[in-house]
Chains A and B, each alone.
Chain A
Amino acid sequence: MRHIISILLENEAGALSRVAGLFSARGYNIASLTVAPTEDPSLSRMTLVTSGSEGVVDQIRKQLNKLVDVVKLVDLTDNERIEREMLLIKVAAEGEERAEIKRLSDIFRGRIIDVTDCAYTIELTGDGGKIDAFISVLQPRRILEVVRSGVIGIARGSITVKPDAPGT
């Protein structure tokens, strides 16, 4: 099953490679991984999407928690949560296509952020499903380039991933 895991990590050189190394050394799946500093500059927040049987995911959580640089880990999968991913997509846009692509982008609440004679670059955020759907509607046209940020996630309500909050 797919799991989305939030981690607070010491913002130190090498911390990211400990996480990445763990996944490759132990043969765990990693679908996406995003990381950036937080409001507290000593901490980074990582969102990791992985999949596996419950036993494997249990081991993943435990092994991650065991890393000395991991300050807090919360598996968001069991919570009400918001997931977002950002897409930057460059698509060929010429002639009549231009209006049609603009319309599709509006429907998906995308924003055209760069324009040339023959191409649009569109920015879109949403959960993975929305991003996939947008890419597939553009598929019949000529997609020049796709960049996806990977998923970030946050729990709904008052649950927070903080150094002193309870983890899983």
Chain B
Amino acid sequence: MELTGAEIFVRCLRDEGVEYLFGYPGGAVLHIYDALYKQEEVKHILVRHEQGATHAADGYARSTGKPGVVLVTSGPGATNAVTGIATAYMDSVPLVVFTGQVMTHLIGDDAFQEVDAIGITRPCVKHNFMVKDVRDLALTIRKAFHVATTGRPGPVVVDIPKDITAHKAAYVFPKDPTLRSYKPVRDGDPAAIRQAAAALAQAKRPMVYAGGGVVLGNAATELTELVRWLGAPCTNTLMGLGAFPATDPLFVGMLGMHGTYEANMGMHECDVLLAVGARFDDRVTGDLDKFCPNARIIHIDIDPASIQKNVQVEIAIIGEAGLVMRELLAALKGTGVRLDEAALKAWWHKIDGWRARHCLEYDRANIEVIKPQFVLETLYRLTAGDAFITSDVGQHQMWAAQFYKFDKPRRWINSGGLGTMGFGLPAAIGVQLAHPDATVACVTGEASIQMCIQELSTCKQYDLPLTIVNLNNRYMGMVRQWQEFFYQSRYSHSYLEALPDFVKLAESYGHAGLRIDKPHDVEAALKEALGRRDRLVFLDFITDQTENVYPMIAAGAGHHEMHLATDRELA
């Protein structure tokens, strides 16, 4: 029996095991929407803006490891989705985004709602396809899922002209999605692994720097075992938080621009650095000339292009983080040598000295104004560290990263590479749908939340009991901080003069809202919100306007050139 392209589309999603499709209708995809109407297996989530669809699918993907799936119409539907696609691309998140396209014979004629979606998305996708024949549709969709989810994951766009969704073809689920030109490596080179084991076994001041690749590759268990066997300090990037348990004594916190003193000093003074699934981003390395000056560097990454890109490393191992770390641990055990115990002890003594600086300390004595850090500490305590936390971009994001101790991967959902304001709320939608019984909180700021605020309406439609933690400092705090430090406090356009009443705003969307402006009300408000499983609660915390994120390494400085809260005058 022949099916229409639209029916084939739906069958493909079903056969790929797609649970949710995040989308927004329009002319070019109406055949598909009609096919969706006639079935119940693939649940469609109607967002309020296509950016929201891509971020929601992204939150779904990051929190589950499964691909997020999006459907938008041609023209403005496709362009609205671009920010979300680029966000997923920078953080290597598997998405499959279907964009409607004008009819094949109209392509290139500046037809109504025509954009070159393939051209526009090309620089921010792992790959994209245009379907030109209904008989290619099923295989193309299969390939899209295959490419998005294997190797270094990433978003894939499939552009489907409207006439293709009306044409008919026989449907068989294609068994083999492989492409001759695409064969990601999985196993590391045994010789390189042996070399790495030998280097690590000789380390006197080892350090493990693990990133988002460990989360993406589901390799947290292997990382934890390896680090514990080594007895080495472990730091995570912003994207790697949760890859190693934050409450483990071997964890020294996040590294980089707003990382801890102990993590950054550890990087500066280590003699062997093991980097796993991390890409030596400039927010992490700072000044490359001053980066890890004394270390032999081992780098495990699935993407050859991540290796030797910013930092020259001595031992490179291309492969899946989990597989490689398992082999590496076996090789280490095989050598029969353990790390020099006295050296390790001296190393930890040094690290404990750095830890004693308590670089994340803040003014807890203040009972007048709410310190943002206090809200996050309380959130951590009340959820026993077990919530899914999504975040927007700014100071609040850094404080969430510093003060919420993630013991498990895929619990910390934020936009690191692109730094997309507006990500937090829609991402939380995807997370809550994937984990209906879990506690999901979105940590945001009054500027960020307004970038996708319309998704509060989606939350209402699907009864998602999120907790919104709005750290409202009436400033684009992160911008204000840079202006304070680097532009002599000229706060050019970083103050938000006309803020909405967020409580009323939440209420108008059908949610509950609370404004909290005294520190002693913080805990009760969070308890109230987290306890409500029947509705979304928007907590508007009026926080200290002048608080800055510390420690801080100015862009382009070295790891040892950190500014701490206690030496404010340096900043």
Contact = CB atoms under 8 A, between A and B. Distances in A.
Contact of B309 (A13, A59, A69): A59
11 contacts: A14-B122, A17-B119, A17-B122, A18-B122, A55-B308, A55-B312, A65-B304, A65-B305, A66-B305, A71-B180, A163-B180
Q: Which 4 pairs of residues, A with B, have the shortest CB-CB distance? A: A62-B305, A71-B181, A68-B127, A62-B304
Contact of B118 (A14, A25, A71): A14
- The interface size bin for chain B is 10 to 19
B446 to A, nearest CB: 34
Contacts of B304: 62, 65-66
A79 interface: no
Interface string A38-57: 00000000000000000100
A70 interface: yes
A17 B130 CA distance: 14
Contacts of B312: 55
A10 B123 CA distance: 18
Contacts of A58: 308
A14 B179 contact: no
A66 B303 contact: yes
Contact of B181 (A17, A21, A55, A68): A68
A63 interface: yes
B136 to A, nearest CB: 11
B147 interface: yes
A19 to B, nearest CB: 11
B181 A70 contact: yes
Nearest to B179: A68
Nearest to B126: A68
Contact of B305 (A25, A59, A68, A71): A59
Which label, helix, strand, loop or mixed, suits the secondary structure of the B interface? mixed
Contacts of B122: 14, 17-18, 21
A13 B308 CA distance: 32
B181 A63 contact: no
A137 B360 CA distance: 72
A62 B305 CA distance: 5
A18 B122 CA distance: 7
Given A10-B181, A21-B122, A66-B303, 15 more contacts: A14-B122, A14-B130, A55-B308, A55-B312, A58-B308, A59-B305, A59-B308, A62-B305, A63-B305, A66-B304, A66-B305, A68-B179, A69-B181, A71-B181, A163-B180
A10 B129 CA distance: 13
Contacts of B180: 71, 163
A63 B306 CA distance: 10
Nearest to A15: B181
The interface centre, meaning the residue of B179, B305, B309, B312 with most chain A CB atoms within 10 A of its CB, is: B305
Contacts of A65: 304-305
Interface in B249-288: none
Interface string B142-164: 00000100000000000000000
B277 to A, nearest CB: 17
B8 to A, nearest CB: 21
Interface string A97-134: 00000000000000000000000000000000000000
Interface in B104-142: 118-119, 122-123, 126-128, 130
Contacts of B130: 13-14
A68 B143 CA distance: 11
Interface in A66-80: 66, 68-71
A13 B309 CA distance: 30
B123 A21 contact: yes
A59 B123 CA distance: 16
B123 A25 contact: yes
A68 B182 contact: yes
A62 B318 CA distance: 12
A62 B308 CA distance: 10
Interface in A1-37: 10, 13-14, 17-18, 21, 25
The interface centre, meaning the residue of B118, B127, B181, B305 with most chain A CB atoms within 10 A of its CB, is: B181
